[in-house]
Structure 1
Amino acid sequence: MKAVLRTRRLPALLLAALLLLLVAGPAPGARAAEGVRAATGVSTIAEALRRGPVYVDPAASGQLTAAGADTLAREIKDANKPLFLVVLPAGYPTRNLFSALRTATGVTGLYAVRLGDRFDARADSSVLPRTAVRNLVTSVQGEDARTQLSDFTHRALAHMGGHAPASWGSSAPGGGGVSGTTLITTAAVLVAGGAGAYALVRRNRRRRDEEQRAALDRLRVVVDEDITAFGEELDRLDFHPAEAGADDAMRADYERALDAYEQAKQRMAEARGPEDVRAVTEALEDGRFSLALLAARREGRPLPERRPPCFFDPRHGPSVTDAAWTPPGGAPREVPVCAADATRLADGRDPVIREVDTDLGRRPYWDAGPAYGPWAGGYFGGGILPGLLVGTVLGSMMAAPSYAADYDPGHGEPGGADFGGYQGGDVSGADFDPGDFSGGFGDGGGFDGGGDGGGDFGGGF
């Protein structure tokens, strides 16, 4: 009888146990799972990005190790640029991800997201124009996560503007601190991955140095041609400071031209990378304008206004007017031209375009690749070129604020582009252009380097 009673009480005991479990709440494992899901919210990602430039979702830790994330974070911080990297699992919700992330973070910058095996990025236009972002994203498609994020970081830091947010230099906000277990685990991961990370850094640095040397060697040919052409102009000048009619203003123009020639040679001899070429072409541009002033004084003509060089070939000297020109397959635009090219265009003939050697043969300099950005930036100041070169490789790269300095090489002639508003790294909250962060990851209206042309990851370009 007692056995029967115990058997009848069993359902009641099971029910009581079940109620106890429900009241007590989910098991520790369930709570941990819920914590992971909460940690992947946009607000949590944004909070992490305000403390540092790299966030790796726990569910995507297999794509980028803690050591790899730390290496990228240090590189970004050392460059003092507002670049944010986010690594998420393939199933993460993607619709409006960029605009939501930018709103939650509230910091102007370049935001790049690796989602599963797909990659995309968006930026405030004051940091990097849309075309430049698109080209950078395209350049790293098909790479594994570690290589892709590393390559994107190297290339983006070389072209983007702005500065790192001040919050990166502060400690994380309070709220519980970091557990000892977390510190021990992190230390163990760092030690285990230290050797691999060091080898990766050395390999990437060696590869970057090799790319820089190759680009400089190719540029050196072009710049040497420029320096030689300017030296020949000086030889043909037939001016002597003591000649009859020479005054102090003429002698000053002549001295500036000679100084520019020497500076160009010296700066090219000291160049260690493509970015150093900008100072060389700046000197050549300044020297050619000095010769234009000297020629006007000697001939009794009004002094010319300070204008950019001839768009088609800076060796033609300062431009004298703007002329309509339509590149093959492009839209019409106004470009600064020398007198000879202005006549050619007016007669329906082709201008004399500066071509350089590339892996695909001789090409106009604006289609020769981003290494020619500093070369052209020294001549044109960068500010006017993005509008002139819309749709070209060089135009998209030179649209970056790093090439957008005002066109004022020292003669008080203002000009150039104005990238007003918030600069990269400043806190602007939700005050940003939504067009900069539209498309991709679900909007279907932007570009997506994934190459599938649709789906949640974007609608293609």
Structure 2
Amino acid sequence: MAAAVFLLLFGFAVPAQADDVSQIANGLTGSRLYVTTDARAAVPEADQAAIRAALDRRTDADVRAVVVQSGVGKNRLGPMLEAVAQRVGEGKTYVGITADGRMMGISKDLSGQEINQLIARTSGGDIKTRLIRFADLAETKADEKAHAGMVGAFVMLGLLVVVVAGASGAFLVVRRRRREQQAREMAELKRGVEEDVTLLGEDIARLDLNVMDPDLDPAAREDYEKAMNSYDRAKSATERAARPEDMHAVTEALEDGRYHMTAVRARLAGDPVPERRAPCFFNPQHGPSVQDVTWAPPGGPARSVPACAADARRVLNGESPDVRMVPYGDGRRPYWDAGPAYAPYAGGYYASYGGMDLLSGMMIGTMLGSMMSGGFGGGFAPGDMGGGFGGDTGDIGGGWDFGGGDFGGGGDFGGGF
């Protein structure tokens, strides 16, 4: 009897222990609604079932709700929602509502202002009505954002397509114009080189040397045959040439052929065979140079260049040399001012005498010289996910926006639940 009386007087008077964060998080792992032990009287089982069913249907909003006892303030409710969200690890919006109807929330998708607006639109109803209404409104808002995001994505995709199409079109136009320019330059270069090859062939034909003559000087015969072989090489290389670089082999063969023709004439005349020197700078068609002279292009610095006898005489007398003029556009201009296509052309003539190193010094102040000096050859709106969860205290960092709801504006929350 005494034990029974003691139990009646003191046992039922012991308050039930409040649910902790771990219990609430475990409950929300398998359900979108958790009603704490001390708040169950405020939400009948039938209402809880209706709320769960409504929350389960609103998958886009992905709302999880916690009902707590009356009198819990925001300084406890806010950190509890943070800590629970951290432990559960899923869900986009968490709302807490007290048994006396005060409500607040945190969300990854909704800003604090949007949470407050939705909570305000649910005011005036009981807990079941408010939570179901909040889930409906959050679902609508989530669908609107998804639609807006899709529209934005399509707009961005459209803009991207336009930009890519524009860039591709511009690239194709530039490439087509570049190819047309290269084809035009190659055609001009080929005409110029063919003139050089033809001139060498005419020079050989004019000599009309009978290589079968037994009285012919064997050395002259050998030089003449070398000149003809060089001409054949130059002619074949010209026919095969498809790029400006291919002309290097042509002019290298032409330089060789012109020297051997000079040697043949010297032998036939009984004169000493001249020293093999670089071709005449002013016009490689003139054959080997005989001396170096100081010359300056219009507006350019003076430099030493190899010259044939005739051009050396002109320069030393203050006259203009006989410059090799090549096809360029609708007219002709000096080969050193006819564009980059003539760089391999010039390089072949001087390949055995220093090549581009020699040319770069002689070409200072010309178009080819300037070319040789350079060498041949999506944002996130407020409330978007912004970081991971922190410790169990609810310090989860960025990513969650607070809506104070019935408690007023959100802010920093201290304490625990």
TM-score of the superposed pair, with normalisation by structure 1: 0.43
Larger radius of gyration: 2
TM score, norm. by length of structure 2: 0.47
